[in-house]
Amino acid sequence: MDWGVIDRYAKSLIKEAGHKIRVSFYKTIDVESKAEANDLVTNIDRDIEQFFIRRIKEDFPNHRIFGEEGFGDEIESLEGIIWMLDPIDGTMNFVHQKRNFAISLGIYSDDVGMLGYIYDVMNDDFYHAVKGEGAYFNDEKLPMLENTPIEESIIGVNASWVAPNRRIEHMPIAEMVHRCRGTRSYGSAAIELAYVSSGRIDAYLSLRLSPWDIAGGMIIAKEVGAIVTNMKGETPHLLGQDTFIVAKPGLHEEIVTNYIRLK
């Protein structure tokens, strides 16, 4: 397999899709809710996923595609080459802010992450990694992450965690929030992963993410030495939803040991 060819192909496809999304703001955007009222999807999410699928199926007919909007393949095993795609990660930001959303793509071969991409479309910021060859922010190679004590760390968490939530009420999350330097919430798991990878924040936690939210970002984060697990400390599952933590190496251990107690 010539991963260099696939890398160049994926990059140009993502840039083209980004252009389509920027142009879409001149068209009508239809917003619908999925099963929950605040879980939004638009015609653009669907169009962009279908654009990727048409191209990939034409040029790499043996590859499979696992996409959020369901136009790709039914994926029940991670054999072969799988493109894990979120056409718009941060749809709520896309609808309400017209910024702070990303295209997220991870290309896996027999469950091994080979190529990872996060494209912050409105900032034209491109993050990518090739397994074993490091990670890049635009054309700049990203340095390896160094540990930061929790007192000097910025942690990405969702503000809904202050509301009653039986999954976390037994965890000392308030203590973690109190001890760290600050918290942030960007509304796109892919962008939070890109920010941890580029050292803008030090950790990011979520109680429920899907494979396409994390597939690209995990590959980028691992290339700079971040630790990526679910809240049980295992490799996140890429066939269904899971909890999620990405953090600098020592900080990851500190968070998992002292603040996360999954029942």
Out of 89, 120, 202, 242, the residue judged to bind ligand 2AM by CB under 6 A: 89
Told to check if 189 binds ligand 2AM by CB under 6 A, we report yes
The answer to whether 135 and 181 have CB atoms below 8 angstroms apart is no
Q: Find the shortest distance in angstroms from Cβ 41 to Ca ion.
A: 6
Query: Out of ligand 2AM, Ca ion, none, which partner does residue 209 contact, by CB within 5 to 8 A per kind?
Result: ligand 2AM
Strand 182-184 with 154-156, pairing: parallel
Q: Which of 7, 49, 89, 120 binds Ca ion (CB under 5 A)?
A: 89
Instruction: Please check whether residue 63 is in contact with residue 129, taking contact to mean a CB–CB distance below 8 angstroms.
Output: no
**Gap between the Cα atoms of 129 and 104, Å rounded:** 12
Residues 66-85 that bind ligand 2AM (CB under 6 A): 68
Q: Per the structure block, which two tokens stand in for 147?
A: 């540990």
Contact 217, 193 (CB under 8 A): yes
Alpha helical stretches, state H, 155-188: 173-179
Nearest CB to ligand 2AM, comparing residues 14 and 130: 14
* Total residues interacting with Ca ion, rule: CB under 5 A: 5
32 lies in the binding site for ligand 2AM (CB under 6 A) = no
- Residues engaged in binding ligand 2AM (CB under 6 A): 39, 68, 86, 89-91, 187-189, 208-210, 213, 241
